[in-house]
Amino acid sequence: MTRIIDLTLNVNNSMSGVQITSCRRLAEEGWNATTLELYSHSGTHMDAPRHFLPEGGTINQQDLSICVGYAQVINLTPTEPRQAIQIEDLTKRASNIQPGTRLLLRTDWHKQYGTDDYRNALPRISVELAHWLVEKQVAMVGVEPPSVADVNNMAELTEVHEILFKGNVLIIEGLANLDQLENEVVQFIALPLKIVNGDGSPVRAIAIEEVPQ
């Protein structure tokens, strides 16, 4: 048996970069419909290399085989605000990181969603760890904070993203509910909208894990 765990933040008007308005009403026009205005990196989302690389690949060019498959859950808790996650933080918790591995970094930071700390005090991937992930040929890294790097430090933000993008590491940010996962390896799915020339896209991310009978 399996169970599905939703790893996606709710999309509503309280989310930064989102505006949802009614454009048709059932009582008046005969059906309900809404107009969605979405910042491309709002909520749970996927970055495309074009986000930081002028000639980088766009979201509609993303290899979907990377977006679907087994992922290793790395429990980094407890995690401190503004913590720079180092290589040893991963290696002491995971010893089987192979080329093509997908990683989900659990920090429980989704619990800070709705606070100033969620954006301004996020734990993030260090420059050294970013290089290491590329050296290990990791295929994907998913994180709970809204970014893999400090959004208030443009130099760091740019450097970490560029390292990962140039190393062909897919970035997924704004994940939630990794604390609900019971298995160290899960099936992971996160698919972006097919936005031509897009630099990123909100995704619906889920994990599927085996349930002992």
pLDDT of the residue at 68: 98
Closest C-alpha to 45, from 142, 149, 119: 142
What confidence tens digit (pLDDT) does each residue in 152-211 have? 999 999 999 999 999 999 999 999 999 999 999 999 999 999 999 999 999 999 999 988
Q: Could you tell me the pLDDT band of residue 122, with boundaries at 50, 70 and 90?
A: very high
Q: Where are the domains of the chain?
A: 2-9+41-210
Closest C-alpha to 36, from 195, 174, 170: 195
pLDDT of the residue at 211: 86
Q: Which two tokens stand for residue 199?
A: 């630099």
Task: For residue 131, indicate whether it is catalytic.
Answer: no
Q: Return d(Cα 151, Cα 121) in angstroms, integer.
A: 9
- Measure Cα distances from 58 to 64, 150, 158 in Å: 12, 23, 17
Q: Could you tell me the pLDDT band of residue 104, with boundaries at 50, 70 and 90?
A: very high
pLDDT of the residue at 213: 77
Please name the residue ranges forming H helices in the chain: 26-29, 64-67, 87-91, 116-120, 127-135, 154-166
Question: In a 3-state reduction of DSSP, which class is residue 143?
Answer: strand
pTM: 0.96
Catalytically annotated residue among 51, 110, 131, 161: 51
If you classify domain 2-9+41-210 with CATH, what class do you get? alpha beta
